[in-house]
Chains A and B, each alone.
Chain A
Amino acid sequence: DADVTQTPRNRITKTGKRIMLECSQTKGHDRMYWYRQDPGLGLRLIYYSFDVKDINKGEISDGYSVSRQAQAKFSLSLESAIPNQTALYFCATSAGQGVNTQYFGPGTRLTVL
């Protein structure tokens, strides 16, 4: 089984709809991250969390919110989706202290019409 899972894998929605993307991990890592990737570009950080009570904004947090329900679960919400939020979304985890190698989920392809 995959260590980092994301649901759904693909989603098409309409402008103005509320969308939630979910991430679960079995790696036992404290740190979790949400990124978006636009075509031809690298990843940009949306939010990151060091533990259940520690959530921080990343480079492009406007229009997004997150919830860290448990150590293993980190959800990303788009309260009112807009077309320029069409992108590939990745969840990642890392162990924290020392080497900060990040491990990625398979991604969620979101299309906002």
Chain B
Amino acid sequence: GIQVEQSPPDLILQEGANSTLRCNFSDSVNNLQWFHQNPWGQLINLFYIPSGTKQNGRLSATTVATERYSLLYISSSQTTDSGVYFCAVGEDSNYQLIWGAGTKLIIKP
């Protein structure tokens, strides 16, 4: 099956810093989503981005499907950005999402 690897596993930054999170996947996918899990456990969908680039405020994401990776950019980090960021991929044909282990981000004030 598809393997998903996220890096780095942990990231500690000062408020105001920028960061780049990476997701590598082992096979072609038609579905790629980025999620944020806040410190209280709630999962929020950030982007549906099987290819191309999207931006939403301070967050943006780029997926290069031909090279099997996706990047999540966070600019001007705030303490509320802390939590775990997950990448999940899948083939629409079987409707299952395969999840990476996540990147734990801590933003210090």
Contact = CB atoms under 8 A, between A and B. Distances in A.
Interface of A: 31, 40-45, 48, 50, 58-59, 88, 90, 99-104, 106-107, 109
A102 B35 CA distance: 10
Contacts of B92: 100
A88 B99 contact: no
Contact of A99 (B48, B86, B99, B101): B48
Interface in B92-108: 92, 95-97, 99-102
A102 B42 contact: no
Contact of B42 (A45, A100, A104): A104
Contacts of A45: 96-97
Contacts of A58: 96
B101 A41 contact: yes
Binding site of B, secondary structure by majority: helix, strand, loop or mixed?
strand
Q: Would you list the 5 A-B pairs with minimal beta carbon distance, nearest first?
A: A42-B99, A104-B43, A101-B48, A43-B99, A107-B41
Contacts of A42: 4, 86, 88, 99-102
Interface residues of B, number: 21
8 contacts: A31-B95, A42-B100, A43-B88, A45-B97, A48-B96, A100-B90, A101-B33, A106-B42
Contacts of A44: 99
Interface of B: 4, 31, 33, 35, 41-45, 48, 86, 88, 90, 92, 95-97, 99-102
Nearest to A92: B43
Given A42-B86, A43-B86, A90-B43, A100 B99 contact: no
Given A103-B45, A106-B42, 4 more contacts: A42-B102, A48-B96, A101-B48, A102-B45
Contact of A48 (B31, B42, B95): B95
Contacts of B48: 99-101
